[in-house]
Chain A
Amino acid sequence: MSATVSSDRERAGTGIAVQNLRIGLTARPGVDVVDDIDLVLKPGEVVGLVGESGSGKTTVGTALLGYTRAGALIEKGKVLFEDKDVLGLPWQQVRQLRGEEIAYVPQDPAAALNPSIRIGKQIVELLELRGIGTPASRLQGARDGLAEVGLPNDDEFLRRYSHQLSGGQVQRVALAMAFLPKPKVLVLDEPTTGLDVTTQGMVLQTMGELCRSHGVAALYVTHDLAVISNIADRVAVMYAGQIAELGPRETIFGQPTHPYTRALLDSIPHLSQARALTGIPGRTPAPGARPDGCRFHDRCSYAIDECSAGVPELREVAPDHLVRCIRSEQIGHWDISRGTVPDSDPNQHREPILTLGDLKVFYGHTEVVHGVSFEVGKAEVVALVGESGSGKTTISRCVGGLHKEWTGSITFEGNELGKGSRSRSASDRKRVQYIFQNPYLSLNPRLTIEQIVRRPMELFGLASGKEATDRVVALLDQVALGPAVLRYQASRLSGGERQRVAIARALAAEPDLLVCDEITSALDVSVQGSIVALLEDLRQTRGISMLFVTHNLALVRSIASRVQILNAGNVVESGFVVDVMDRPQQEYTQRLLANSPRID
Chain B
Amino acid sequence: MTAVSEPTPGPSPAPAPAEKSTLRRALDQKRFTVGLTITAIIVLLAVFGPLLAPHGQNEVVGPTFSSKGLFGTDYLGQDVLTRLLYGGRVILLISLFATLLGMVLGVLIGVVAAYAGGWWDEVIMRLNDVTLAFPQILLSLVVLTAVNQPRAWIIIILVGISHAPRVARLARGVALGIVSRDFVYAAEALGERRSRVILAEVLPNMSAPLLAEAGLRLTYSIGLVAALGFLGFSTDPNAANWGQMINENRLGLTIQTWAVLAPVLIIGLFTVGTNLMADGVAQVAQRGGGSE
Contact = CB atoms under 8 A, between A and B. Distances in A.
Interface in B175-206: 181-183, 185-186, 188-192, 200-201, 204-205
A447 B5 CA distance: 21
Contacts of A281: 10-11
A436 B182 contact: yes
A401 interface: yes
Interface string A436-470: 11101111111100000001100100000000000
Bin chain A's interface residue count.
Answer: 35 or more
A327 interface: no
B10 A481 contact: yes
A460 to B, nearest CB: 8
Interface stretch (B12-20, B52-60, B127-135, B213-221): B12-20
A444 B199 CA distance: 12
Interface stretch (A110-118, A167-175, A408-416, A490-498): A490-498
- Which of the listed residues B2, B11, B182 has the most CB atoms from chain A within 10 Å of its own CB? B11
B11 A421 contact: no
Interface in A465-486: 477, 479-485
Given A429-B191, A482-B6, A402 B185 contact: yes
Nearest to A432: B189
Nearest to B12: A482
Contacts of A285: 14
A299 B2 CA distance: 22
Interface string B14-55: 101001000000000000000000000000000000000000
Q: What's the dominant secondary structure at chain A's contact region?
A: loop
Contacts of A497: 11, 13
Interface residues of B, number: 32
Contacts of A455: 190
B188 A402 contact: yes
A496 B190 contact: no
A434 interface: yes
Contact of B183 (A289, A444, A479, A481): A444
A424 interface: yes
A326 interface: no
B82 to A, nearest CB: 47
A482 B189 contact: no
22 contacts: A285-B14, A289-B14, A421-B191, A422-B188, A422-B191, A429-B189, A429-B191, A436-B185, A436-B186, A441-B181, A441-B183, A444-B201, A444-B204, A446-B207, A455-B190, A480-B10, A481-B12, A482-B9, A482-B12, A485-B13, A491-B291, A494-B13
Given A484-B4, A509-B190, 15 more contacts: A289-B14, A400-B189, A426-B191, A433-B189, A442-B182, A444-B201, A445-B291, A447-B204, A481-B10, A482-B4, A482-B8, A483-B8, A497-B11, A505-B186, A530-B10
Interface of A: 281-283, 285-286, 289, 400-402, 421-422, 424, 426, 429, 433-434, 436-438, 440-447, 455-456, 459, 477, 479-485, 488-489, 491-494, 496-497, 505, 509, 530
Q: What are the 7 tightest A-B residue pairs by CB atom distance, in nearest-first order?
A: A480-B10, A482-B8, A446-B204, A442-B182, A484-B4, A445-B291, A441-B182
